[in-house]
Chain A
Amino acid sequence: MSITVKAAGAGVTYVDQRAPISSLLKANLRKIFPDHWSFMLGEIALYSFLILLLTGVYLTIWFKPSMTDVIYNGSFAPLDGIPMSEAYASALNISFDVRGGLLIRQIHHWAALFFMAAMMVHMFRIFFTGAFRKPRELNWVIGGSMILIGILEGFAGYSLPDDLLSGVGVRIVAGIVEGIPVIGTYLMFFIFGGQFPGSDFIPRLYTFHVLLVPGILLAMIGIHLVLVFYHKHTQYPGAGRTNTNVVGFPLFPVYTAKAGGFFFVVFGVTTLIAAFVTINPIWAYGPYVPDQVTAGSQPDWYIGFLDGALRAFPNWESVIWGHTISWNVFLPSAVMPGLLVTVLIIYPFIEAWVTGDKREHHLLDRPRNAPTRTAIGVMAISFYGVLVINGANDIIAQAFNVSFNQLTWFTRIGVFVIPPLMFIATRRFCLGLQRRDRDLLLHGRESGQILRLPHGEFIEIHTPISDEQKAVILSKIDVPVMALPVATDANGVATPKLRAKRRRARWSRAYFGDNVARPTAQELEEAAHHAHEAHAHEVHAHGAGELADAGKDH
């Protein structure tokens, strides 16, 4: 036993006698995790969160969350002598008078952008591979909620410096809250401690941003990871991989080094970007004054879809019995995101209902093998994408010299037309890939070699695909389409809950009706036999070629 192991053993013994750590270590030190680049997306999100916690603590040392008026006398000359809030002055102080302060601020901001991006792309991976299926529905719900909370947290952090750009963002949020029917005005007055902008908002937002929300996120991340551990990680299909095993490398030492190293890679890359690329130059915007604004105001990217929706929505407003309902604000900025997130969060339960599937799934789906799900995902992303683009319609209009009025109309129509088109195209694309898979299994791969048979016919030689490829393709599950229930059975008894069953059968057909069936064992057998014959042809032809070559030599 080496000294390292002895020392570790002594440490473990000490802890073990006070908390039973050995059982935990025994079960988990050599726990197997499968390897795939797409499994690192969630890691990026996790590590970005850790970076945010770390750099956030540094920022709290110097940041003053106060809206008290002060005159700036720091070292950024262009703003010298300008009245501003203490929050903005201290953010300037962090940027220009604290050594490394700007670096920490920029790492914090970049990490926030990466955190949101990584969570979303991670979610796409989970969605398209069906990793949300039983037993991981709860983790999907937690993850989806974390994205929503992350958007709020990001917006709060973006607003704290109280610069002109973020102040306009807060003004818009105040307007959105005012637009909520019945309670909006009161809610706005409660949040801001009176009229906008008041002097309570920044201190309140600060506690929300540095204590309440990070606490909630930390708890959710904890549960998220414990569940990943408990479920054991999903894996992609392949040779040697089944739904009941997990193939990969042990947590200690391989993943300790890889995942631990990856934390430093994420931290290092974020820091390097923060070193070279300025993000959110608050000094260039100036302090927030409620009657000023900059042209080309843009929120951080993850707010873009909300802003895009707000820009595109028609100007509907009604007055009913002396009360104003701002459809133009309430629908795009509260109802639309609410619906989007609700559908997203309950999706696993919708799909489970359609399939009637109660089994555990640990082997990931290939997106093509679930064409309707994949098409729904692409549809949702294109809906989101159109809104994000519209969130920058003024920038695009300027950059490409097009009319923003036309861009807005493009969005108003496109947001309803493009997603269904993407749905249809994606679904067909997936079904095409399924047919190709079936062809590959039954007829092998086109080898590019043309063969002339003795009687003059030309054929192309197909070579059977490898076992690894076969294992991947054969991982497809054929979900049976539910038959439409009959109104009354042979004995004349009416089917109970007929309408619900019919609805479910129709959904089932829409989901799986067009799927290309996996080849049966018999078909595969025949195909293998066929391939063998073709191989015989090939050998035959090869022999003939040699003869011809021999003839030339003479």
Chain B
Amino acid sequence: MSSDHGKTLSTAEHGDEPAFPLPAHRHRLTDTSPRAARRAERQVAGMFVLSALLIVAFIAAYVAIPTSTFVNLGVIGIVQLSNLILGATFGLSILLIGIGAIQWAKKLMSDEEVTDERHPLGSPQEDRDEALAAFQMGVTESGFVERKIVRRTLIGALALFPVPLIVLLKDMGPLPGDSLRNTIWRKGSRIVIDVTGQPVKPQDMGVGTLISASPEDLNTIQEEQGNQNERAKASIILVRMAPDEIRSQQSPKGATWDYQGILAFSKICTHVGCPIALYQKATHHLLCPCHQSTFDLADSGNVVFGPANRRMPQLPITVDSEGYLVAQGDFQEPVGPSFWERG
């Protein structure tokens, strides 16, 4: 055999003998002992019978167990009983069919390995030649090569054929216009608490408080479905800090955008638009739960960490004649993620 050792197995020519022969087949117990074979047969049949019984159990559970019953399974948690029993009976039933079939194959079907020859892939050379000749004949008969004007106009027409298919997509949505630059905040828009819809007075907010808020008129907005689009842009957070903790603000010289240490910022992250509400009172840092961009609200909402590039836009606020917090106007820059036209 040593003379075969040097043969490169994987470059062997078709029909070559392997360098080492297939190891001799070893009989299983089920091949030699009829008793073992019968036992295997009983095992397989037992699994199939159990599988069928479990289907009956499934139907009984389907009829008997309401979806409103829950059980506590400790580590696994609270689960719906119906889900548990239906899944357990059905799952086990099909699992048994699978295991039974595999057991049948492994114990009772022939386990003698068979060798098949591979044949070179690809069509025989003569087929390839004939195919090429047939194609050549088609090309000649069509005049595709000689009749240049037909060929070129056809290519031109085909190139334009997809255009309507693309044009038709135009009405998938309106053009952005300036919709990404505006929100519904107006001069005098009352700031209301998100959850309750209550307007906010400065004395309601202690130092260190954070409130999720929105404009009062949001509730009067009726878009095609609710007011989600405006809500997605207009949401803000209100925070109050001691005025001497505020190191800088986005307000231009001479303007006051906070009200006695109450600051309003957009709630929409400038990275990819997650709403932000994780606020660390001691550092005045605002943290995005999605990608961990961190903004310093005491320092103009500037980015101190993470993938966001731009500061959180600040909403200029003041109080109205009744003493409620209101906006001085809209945001001075687009809120939310950057976009190509933003500039």
Contact = CB atoms under 8 A, between A and B. Distances in A.
A394 B91 contact: no
A22 B237 CA distance: 73
Contacts of B292: 311, 393-394, 404-405, 408
Contacts of A275: 83-88, 90-91
Interface residues of A, number: 137
Contact of A315 (B214, B307, B340): B307
B76 A261 contact: no
Contacts of A317: 309-310, 338
Nearest to A332: B307
A257 B98 CA distance: 8
B199 to A, nearest CB: 17
A294 B212 contact: no
B80 A102 contact: yes
A525 to B, nearest CB: 5
A183 B339 CA distance: 9
A261 B105 contact: yes
Interface stretch (B4-12, B200-208, B238-246, B256-264): B4-12
Contacts of A478: 8
A97 B67 contact: yes
Contacts of B79: 276, 278
B282 interface: no
A208 interface: no
Contacts of B268: 291
Interface in A409-468: 467-468
Contact of A310 (B114, B232, B272, B303): B272
B231 A171 contact: no
Contact of A267 (B13, B16, B98, B179): B98
A323 interface: yes
Contacts of A297: 274, 289-290
Contacts of A190: 169, 172-173
B95 A253 contact: no
A179 interface: yes
B29 interface: no
A315 B306 contact: yes
Interface string B285-305: 000011111000000000101
A363 B99 CA distance: 30
Given A97-B67, A291-B214, 12 more contacts: A31-B116, A171-B273, A194-B173, A195-B232, A230-B121, A250-B114, A258-B101, A265-B99, A292-B275, A470-B20, A474-B5, A475-B10
16 contacts: A101-B67, A102-B80, A103-B82, A172-B272, A186-B175, A197-B229, A243-B11, A260-B101, A268-B93, A290-B231, A291-B267, A291-B268, A296-B289, A314-B307, A329-B338, A471-B9
Interface of B: 1-3, 5-6, 8-16, 18-23, 62, 67-68, 73, 76-77, 79-80, 82-88, 90-102, 104-106, 109-111, 113-118, 120-121, 169, 172-176, 179-180, 194, 212, 214, 223-226, 228-229, 231-233, 235, 267-268, 271-278, 289-293, 303, 305-310, 336-343
Enumerate the 6 nearest inter-chain pairs by beta-carbon distance, A residue then B residue, closest first.
A275-B87, A268-B95, A240-B22, A175-B272, A521-B6, A261-B101
